[in-house]
Amino acid sequence: MSKNLFPVKVAPAHWAEIASAFLWLGLTAFGGPAAHIGIMQDEFVRRRKWADDRQFLDLLSITNLIPGPNSTEMAMHIGYLRAGIPGSLLAGAGFIFPSMMMTMLFAWLYVQFGALPQINGVLYGIKPVVIAIIFNAFLSFAPKILNNWKLTAIGLAVMTLYLLGINELVLLAVGGIGFMLYRNWRKAASSIWLAALPDSFLPAVSLASKIPYTPQTLFFTFLKIGAVLYGSGYVLLAFLHSDFVQRLGWITDQQLLDAVAVGQVTPGPLSTAATFIGFLMDGIPGALLATLAFFLPAVLLVWVVNPLVPVLRSSPWTSSLLDGLNAASLGLMAAVILTLVPTSLPNLPAGFILAIAALFLVKWKVNATWLILAGGLAGWLLTSLG
């Protein structure tokens, strides 16, 4: 049995400290997962000294090796390091709670007023900025992840196959496991690619008819996504699009983009888009159910994997798996960008908003939150002026 690399201080005196620290982080952490990690490093390594640089990097490595929302898992790992399981629960809840409450408020406003021209104008300007943000994230990740022709080929293949209708879970599994076997056990790789996958898993379901809503379907769909989501928070778009737009038919492309936009303008994890979709389905009960289902696998994974950091960190097999999964995740991200562009760019002014947002993101590194707000204002002005 592996010994935990980190000494866990299970002290009730730390609980209030953890809760307040992560509540504040959840209220103020704008900018997406990469920004969240930087804020956590500054706050908990440099200022509070809850971990040293080596411990922090070990925790960051493990969040990249397991599925789930990275910044939320990182928060729970730090809480676990500080005060064991109670600390991880307090850290995760504190980080998620502010964003969840704000998202429910935005979802209520969206349901009440989303059909009004003023609100539609704001969303008209926000959607191109969301595409620019996802594209900028892709540009940031691509040079580090697609660093050889094999990984680039995996990314391109996954993008193409997703656009052709292959299920994203199959593509992630084949990309990650296939590259792991290729690098570490090449003779076996060619015989195992698709042999073990049931035929029913291969096509992404794209139904013209709508499947009726049930709370059970909502819960288990988000539970599945939370258990298999791999890569950046923006890869979540591929899963949400496949399940809620294509398979279930519960939301439209436009509503999916609106959910992501709300995730961008609220602090904390982007994955509270689950809260937004849950609210659209069933009000507050749906929002709470979707949020719980999505984050539950991350909680369990942190508890199981935290003691195994040294083993996973040093294994060439898991290192290769990580490389393949990252490449496949980037392919999914690129495919989702291409899928959502027609909805986000209905005319030339929207294209100008996208171009300007991309310029500010790529060249001047402007905070994404300010660009979302500016895009909303520009959209409102453009639609108001006719």
Which tens digits make up the pLDDT trace of 322-331? 788 888 888 9
Name, in order, each residue with C-beta under 8 angstroms of 39's C-beta and a sequence gap of 6 or more.
Answer: 25, 29
Pick 65 or 109 by higher pLDDT. 109
- The arithmetic mean of pLDDT across residues 34-63, rounded, is 81
Q: Which of 246, 235, 206, 251 is nearest to 336 (CA)?
A: 235
- The arithmetic mean of pLDDT across residues 282-308, rounded, is 92
Class of residue 227 by CB neighbours under 10 A (exposed 0-12, middle 13-18, buried 19+): middle
- The arithmetic mean of pLDDT across residues 134-141, rounded, is 83
Structural domain count, the chain: 1
Q: Cα angle at 329 between 146 and 236, to 5 degrees? A: 145
Name, in order, each residue with C-beta under 8 angstroms of 214's C-beta and a sequence gap of 6 or more.
Answer: none
- Domain, as residue range, for 203: 99-110+120-384
| Greatest mean pLDDT among 132-136, 183-187, 355-359 | 355-359
On average, the pLDDT of the chain sits at: 83
Q: Which of 276, 273, 288, 281 is nearest to 233 (CA)?
A: 273
Asked whether residue 35 is domain-assigned, the answer is no
Residues 192/195/196/201 CA torsion (nearest 10 deg): 130
% the chain with pLDDT above 70 = 85
Asked whether residue 156 is domain-assigned, the answer is yes
- The arithmetic mean of pLDDT across residues 204-230, rounded, is 81
* Predicted pLDDT of residue 191: 45
Is pLDDT above 90 for 33?
no
Q: What is the rounded CA–CA span in Å between residue 372 and residue 125?
A: 8
Q: What is the rounded CA–CA span in Å between residue 22 and residue 5?
A: 23
* Predicted pLDDT of residue 254: 87
Is pLDDT above 50 for 202?
no
The model's pLDDT over 149-195, given as tens digits with 9 standing for 90+, comes to 999 999 999 999 999 988 887 888 899 889 988 888 754 444 444 44
Pick 289 or 16 by higher pLDDT. 289
Asked whether residue 263 is domain-assigned, the answer is yes
Pick 302 or 3 by higher pLDDT. 302
The model's pLDDT over 234-264, given as tens digits with 9 standing for 90+, comes to 678 889 999 999 999 999 998 998 888 888 7
Is pLDDT above 90 for 350?
yes
Q: Report residue 54's pLDDT band, with 50, 70 and 90 as the boundaries.
A: confident
Q: Report residue 201's pLDDT band, with 50, 70 and 90 as the boundaries.
A: very low
| Greatest mean pLDDT among 56-70, 99-113, 228-242 | 99-113
**To which H or E segment does residue 384 belong?**
helix 368-384
Percent helix, percent strand, percent coil in the chain, to nearest 5: 80, 0, 20
Range with the poorest average pLDDT among 25-39, 87-101, 129-143, 151-165: 25-39
pTM confidence score: 0.76
Q: Report residue 30's pLDDT band, with 50, 70 and 90 as the boundaries.
A: low
% the chain with pLDDT above 90 = 37
Is pLDDT above 90 for 337?
no
